[in-house]
């Protein structure tokens, strides 16, 4: 196996599985909301919003759009780009979509902040815990 040491995307995107596990038990797409610098292989559709949809409202739209009917492949399920483009959705009036985007963006901003905080705390735990377990760090004199 090889490795990747650089990114090809930088920003907020929606990843939708192209082949393999592409839908959940209810027929909705397997999605990942991603941000920052990242690399994606060719087994995912990389989506961003247009026509008034931002990445977050696109995520919410796909979370509520069953796609089981467009999955092909007998052995390995697949959602082709052609089939993905065939999904019909209702596009709300621009004002309504703008208002919706402004409502959900702070929630996703909080999600991103919480995820980054969680990563920092996990790294701190992973650094300190072995030192505590080995006795390298002594916390017996700390008063709480």
DSSP string, the chain: -----S-SEEEEEEEEE-BSS-B-TTSPBPEEEEEEEE---TTEEEE---TT--HHHHHHHHHT---GGG-B-SSS-B--HHHHHT---PPPPHHHHHHHHHHHHHHHHHHHHHHHHHHHHHHHHHHHHHHHHHTSS--TT---
Average pLDDT of the chain? 94
Can you give the pTM of this predicted structure? 0.84
Confidence of residue 144 (pLDDT cuts 50, 70, 90): confident
Q: Is the pLDDT of residue 89 over 70?
A: yes
CATH of 9-134, one of 3.30.1490, 2.60.120, 1.20.120, 3.90.220: 3.90.220
Domain ranges of the chain: 9-134
* Percent of the chain scoring above 90 in pLDDT: 83
Q: For 21-68, how does the pLDDT look when each residue is reduced to its tens digit (9 = 90+)?
A: 999 999 999 999 999 999 998 899 999 999 999 999 999 999 999 999
């Amino acid at each position: 196996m090889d490795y990747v040491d650089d990114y090809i995307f930088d920003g907020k995107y929606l990843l939708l599985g192209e082949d393999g596990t592409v839908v959940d038990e209810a027929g909705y797409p397997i999605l990942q909301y991603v941000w920052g610098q990242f690399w994606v292989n060719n087994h995912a559709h990389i989506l961003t919003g247009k026509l008034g949809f931002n990445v977050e409202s696109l995520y919410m739209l796909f979370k509520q759009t069953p796609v089981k009917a467009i999955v092909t492949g007998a052995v390995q399920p697949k959602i082709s780009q052609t089939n993905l483009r065939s999904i019909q959705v209702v596009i709300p009036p621009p004002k309504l979509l703008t208002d919706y985007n402004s409502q959900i963006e702070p929630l996703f901003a909080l999600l991103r902040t919480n995820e980054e905080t969680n990563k920092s705390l996990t790294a701190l735990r992973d650094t300190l815990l072995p030192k505590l377990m080995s006795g390298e760090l002594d916390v017996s004199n700390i008063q709480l």
